[in-house]
């Protein structure tokens, strides 16, 4: 048995310990991502080897925060991949306008930028007054930032460029209170958004949604977990409801192809078929 084999045993021990001690199950995350995250956790906290993490992990409850910081992905942006939002405006919004109310779920919302992007889009399409948006993540630290809606002012130029390409109908800065260093989402945008902890690995169906966005999350899961989570999304959608994945994700080989209609393959927008 060489060093790499021993390291794999150590990684498995860490994952088992996290699952049993804290209830966070990362054992079906993509292996390459897990290996990178565990090594980073070891290096940043000064451990001599991966298994040296275990005593602190098991006996120090505050260690969970370090795990969550390392194992969660908080990379996101306002109107990231603008063509996706443009297609939501053109191909999803007309159907949403036929409902008396709409519920939207942003799964894996990270720091909330995607939830606020959808809120702004619905505002401009005259739908926000009858909409409820739920942004969920398992990272409570990221959720706190989501609720604040405060971001670096240095990002505003990128936000505005994305917004314009996404078919924005106003000036994006109208939706923010600007200070010297930050841009804070205004209350009129926040008012119909609820941010909550929800773990896609261990939790279940989340209401009856008309639109679900889960973009660039499934790429961190193995095939088994991808199918499990996709089934949760299917069961959380109303019939004719819409579902949007990330650009590197797809329903192909998931077993759900026959249950979902392709609305726009490039934008990864799908619609749940009516029985």
Average pLDDT over residues 156-170: 96
Residue 145 binned pLDDT confidence (cut-offs 50, 70, 90)? very high
Six-digit token pair at 175?
């939706």
Name the residue with higher pLDDT: 58 or 3: 58
In angstroms, what CA-CA distances link 50 with 176, 188, 239?
A: 44, 47, 47
Domains observed in the chain? 3-71 (no CATH), 82-272 (3.40.50.150)
User: Buried b vs exposed e over 184-205: b needs ≥16 C-beta within 10 Å?
Assistant: ebeeebbebbebeebebbeeee
Element (H, E) at 185: strand 182-185
Q: What is the pLDDT of residue 130?
A: 97
Beta strands in 147-236 (DSSP E): 150-152, 176-178, 182-185, 193-197, 209-214
Q: What is the pLDDT of residue 147?
A: 97
First to last CA, the chain: 54
HSE, side-chain direction, 13 A CA sphere, residue 168: 21
In angstroms, what CA-CA distances link 57 with 15, 20, 66, 239?
A: 10, 11, 9, 44
Checking if the pLDDT of 12 tops 80, the result is: yes
The pLDDT tens digits for 37-87 are 999 999 999 988 999 999 999 999 999 999 998 888 777 899 999 999 999
Q: Is residue 186 within 8 Å of 175, Cβ to Cβ?
A: yes
Q: At what angle do helices 31-44 and 63-71 cross, to 10 degrees?
A: 140
């Amino acid at each position: 048995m060489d060093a790499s084999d021993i390291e794999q045993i150590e990684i498995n021990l860490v994952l088992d310990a996290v699952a049993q001690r804290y209830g966070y199950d990362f054992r079906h995350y993509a292996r390459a991502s897990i290996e990178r995250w565990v090594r980073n956790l070891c290096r940043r906290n000064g451990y001599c080897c991966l298994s040296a993490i275990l005593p602190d992990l098991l006996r120090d409850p505050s260690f969970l925060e370090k795990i969550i910081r390392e194992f969660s992905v908080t990379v996101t942006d306002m109107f990231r991949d603008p063509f996706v939002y443009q297609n939501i405006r053109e191909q999803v919004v007309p159907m949403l306008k036929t409902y008396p109310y709409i519920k939207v779920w942003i799964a894996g919302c990270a720091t909330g930028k995607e939830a606020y992007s959808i809120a702004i889009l619905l505002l401009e399409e005259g739908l926000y007054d009858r909409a409820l948006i739920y942004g969920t993540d398992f990272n409570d630290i990221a959720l706190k930032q989501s609720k604040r809606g405060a971001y670096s002012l240095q990002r505003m130029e990128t936000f505005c460029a994305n917004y314009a390409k996404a078919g924005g109908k106003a000036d994006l800065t109208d939706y923010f209170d600007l200070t010297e260093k930050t841009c804070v989402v205004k209350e009129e945008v926040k008012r119909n958004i609820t941010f909550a902890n929800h773990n896609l690995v261990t939790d279940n169906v989340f209401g009856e949604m008309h639109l679900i966005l889960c973009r660039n999350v499934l790429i961190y899961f193995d095939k088994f977990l991808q199918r499990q989570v996709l089934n949760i999304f299917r069961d959380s959608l109303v019939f004719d409801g819409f579902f949007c994945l990330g650009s590197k994700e797809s329903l192909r080989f998931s077993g759900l192809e026959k249950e979902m209609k392709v609305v726009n393959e490039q934008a990864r927008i799908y619609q749940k078929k009516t029985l």
